[in-house]
Structure 1
Amino acid sequence: MNVPKMLRSFKYAFQGIRVLMQENNARFHLLATVVTILTGFLVKLSPIEWTIMCIIVGLVWVAEAFNTALEKLCDFVSPQHHPLIGKVKDLAAGGVLIISLLAVIVGIILFLPKILAYL
């Protein structure tokens, strides 16, 4: 096991997270994540509900990271507009939208009954 090499890979991963956080969509996801976590504490999610929420939030972040990486690669490969590159970017963005909509549905399932119980 090469510990210095492993530590360098963590350094690069954190650099990637910094790059991701410069994106507007990632900032929106960060706001949504903070609101979701705060709401989870407010409504006292159960351990299994926290687990579900963490998984779905993590999936949204992973999708956004892959989408951002793919967009940057497409911009490098084809700086000019190209219809096929546009489709690739649209597909990647569609993947983020799909998981984001699923996250909203999961949020409604987890939070709505607890919020209605408070009312």
Structure 2
Amino acid sequence: MDRSSLSTFKSRGGIKRVVNAFGYSLKGLRAALRHEAAFRQECALALILFPSAFWLGRNAVEIFLLCFTVLLVLIVELINSAIEALADAISLEHHPLLGRAKDIGSAAVLLCLLTTGAWWAYVIIDRFF
């Protein structure tokens, strides 16, 4: 027997599943905006950077990559926030593996931020200097 069929939390599929999944995604975005300061800050920055990408980019590829790197930061921040919430739900006491999971998630966000900063700096320097 398939293990996924044992869970009462698994959906059966169809259009109802798609609608439910979309609702859960919106719920997750609202939760991140409500509870995660870093995600709110990155969203505020994205509101500035997305329109700036259309002004700064000289072609479709540059515009896409400028926007993509910003979006990637938001995606990785959401995953990091999910890891942190799960770790906190498991235990608020210090545990080396939970701490490692949180640190690795944070490192992923840092790498995305550095990549985004490097790409934006490259495009700005290439355009203006």
| TM-score, structure 2 normalization | 0.80
CA distance in 2, matches of 1:48, 1:55: 10
Kindly report which structure 2 residues correspond to 1:9-88, keeping only aligned pairs within 5 A, or say none.
9-22=21-34, 23-43=36-56, 45-88=58-101
Determine helix, strand or coil for the equivalent of 1:106.
helix
Number of residue pairs the alignment of both structures matches: 116
CA RMSD after TM alignment: 1.7
Structure 1, unmatched stretches of 5+, are none
* Matched residue, 2:119: 106
* Matched residue, 2:10: none
Residue 44 of structure 1: how far off its partner (Å) = 5.0
Structure 2, unmatched stretches of 5+, are 1-12
Residue 60 of structure 1: how far off its partner (Å) = 1.0
CA distance in 2, matches of 1:53, 1:16: 25
Bigger Rg, structure 1 or 2: 2
Counterpart among 20, 26, 30 of residue 8 in structure 1: 20
2:57, 2:123 within 8 Å by CA — same for their partners in 1? no
CA distance in 1, matches of 2:98, 2:90: 9
Bigger RCO of structures 1 and 2 (CA < 8 A, at least 6 apart): 1
Determine helix, strand or coil for the equivalent of 2:84.
helix
Percent of aligned pairs sharing the same letter = 25
| TM-score, structure 1 normalization | 0.87
